[in-house]
Structures are given as structure tokens and as C-alpha cells.
Chains A and B, each alone.
Chain A
Amino acid sequence: MQEAVSNSDSSSIMKDWVNKYSDNMFSWALHKTSSKETAEDLVQETFLSALKSYDKFEGKSNPKTWLFSILNNKINDIYRSNFRTPVVNNFSDLTSFFDEKGQWEPEQRPLNWVGDSEHLLDNQEFQTTLSQCMHKLPQNWLSVVQLKYLEERNSQLICQELNISATNLWQILHRAKLQLRKCIEINWFKK
């Protein structure tokens, strides 16, 4: 008969795991959320939930796998709850991209990006610029972009989860892309 793990045992195991895995988890959460504060909160919450439900772990899976599955659930929750945080949909922003006839405003007109080639996809500095631009998006648009492109969630599912129409979805993605495009142009291609 195995004795129940005592409180002090589980907490010392957890401390060992913090030393072993927290850097990796923090790097991952940062990659997923592009926000240091959010990433730190998520990692801490993950260990606290793991400590609470330690008896469910049973050593069946690898601790790292278990911790990452908790972390990934929390990341997904963040995307969803961020969508619900009320942000004024600043659709009037759109008017600043186009004149009253619907033509690009001169300074908003997309330039021909020199060097927007495949190699940029792996450029670390470019990724940083991209993350910064993503975080300038309204919180609820960012959630949609994250679910659609980073989680590669099926559009129908996103609409269900966020309770929006298919038209709503592409309009949000479109507006997000207009802003991202502008931000990338200013902070990368014009520099």
C-alpha cells in the first residue's frame, strides 16, 4: 500500500520541478503570449495548480508533459478571456486608412516592401518587431489573430467559442492585418 504523498513531499517535488522546468515553461509562455508579465503569471499559476492537483498526477506521464498540458490550457483560457474583456471596437480607426472615396490615404498606402522574403520568417529581430506590433492591436482582435494563426484553430470553432459570425471573423482579421501591416512597415521596412 502506498501512502498518500504528504504535503511537504509534494511541495519539495514541486520546487525541484520549478528549478528544472520553469525556464522552459516561461520561454514557451512568452513565445505564445508575447508578454513577460502574462507569461510569468501563467507559469506561476501552472505550478500552483499542479501543487493542488498533485495527487492526480500519479507519475503516469512525464512531469514536464503534465506541466506543459496545464500551461497550454491556461494559455488558451487567456486567449478566450482576453476576447471578452470589453474593448471599444474602434472601427472608426479604419476611416483613417482610406479617404472618403475609399482610396488609400497617401501615407497609408502600402509600400513595396524590399526584402520581405522567406528569410525574414526566421529572423529573431523581426519576430520581436512582429510581437510588439501584435500587442498594439486591441486585446480582442489579438485573441482572434492568436486563435486563428498561432493555434491554427478552425474558423468555425473560433466563431462558436467567441460567439461571433463568420463575417465578424474575417472583418476582425482584416482590420488586424491593416494595422499589423502598417506597424511592420514603420518599424521594420522604413527603418
Chain B
Amino acid sequence: MMNKLMLSCKKASELIDKSDEIKLTLMEKLRLSFHVAMCEGCKSYRKQSLFIYKVLNRKSKINPENITHLENNPLKTQIITKIESLSK
């Protein structure tokens, strides 16, 4: 019984990310919560996987109007030169 419930960390971390995409079976869910309850490493992994999702999601909410504005004058010169050479 115990053996059936015990997941390895490799499998548990897989299930953590799989659950974002595919519905886990009841058995998978049980085994995962059982494992995470006892394993500090996988508990941290679950938090961090969500954290990574959140930072990337925040990044996706940025639009061209609110990004940090950078200047790139060499690029301007390069493109203008290119345009001039093409229109000759």
C-alpha cells in the first residue's frame, strides 16, 4: 500500500507541471499531495513552478506603451543607410 502511494521526486515534479496541462487522475492527485506533504524539495518545486509561471505571465501583460524605452542610434543609422542604398 505504502509503495503504491510513494512517488519519486522525479515523478512528483513531473506531475506538478503536467497538472497545468492535463487533468490528473484521482490516484495521481492523491500520490502527489502525499509526496509533497512529506518532501520539502518538491514543496519548493511546486511553489517555484507557479512563481515562474507568474513572472512570465506578468511579462506577457506588458505592452509596447509601457516597456522601458531604449535608444539605439547605431541601429537607426544602419537602417537609414540600408534604405538609401535600396532607393538609389
Chain A positions near chain B (C-beta within 8 angstroms): 7-8, 10-11, 14-15, 18-19, 22-24, 26-28, 30-31, 40, 43-44, 47-48, 51, 68, 94, 97-98, 101-104, 109-113, 116, 118, 120-122, 124, 126-127, 130, 145, 149-152, 155, 166-167, 169-171, 173-174, 177-178, 180-181, 184
Query: By DSSP majority rule, is chain A's interface helix, strand, loop, or mixed?
Result: helix
Once bound together, how far apart are the Cα atoms of A170 and B40, in whole Å?
23
Contact A24 B69 (CB under 8 A): yes
**Contact A28 B67, beta carbon cutoff 8 Å:** yes
Chain B CB count within 10 A is highest, among A22, A40, A121, A177, for A177
- Residues of B with C-beta under 8 A to A178: 13
Chain A contacts for B71, CB-based, 8 A: 23
**Contacting pair B82 A44 (CB below 8 A):** yes
CB distance from A14 to the nearest CB of B (A): 5
In the complex, B1 has a CB within 8 A of chain A:
no
CB distance from B12 to the nearest CB of A (A): 9
How far does the alpha carbon of A15 sit from the alpha carbon of B86 in the complex, in Å? 12
Residue contact B75 to A181, C-beta cutoff 8 Å:
no
Of all chain B residues, the one with the shortest Cβ separation from A101 is B8
Q: List 20 A-B contacts (CB under 8 A).
A: A14-B83, A26-B70, A26-B75, A27-B69, A43-B79, A44-B75, A44-B78, A44-B82, A97-B10, A98-B10, A102-B11, A104-B9, A112-B44, A116-B48, A116-B51, A150-B56, A166-B22, A173-B21, A181-B45, A184-B48
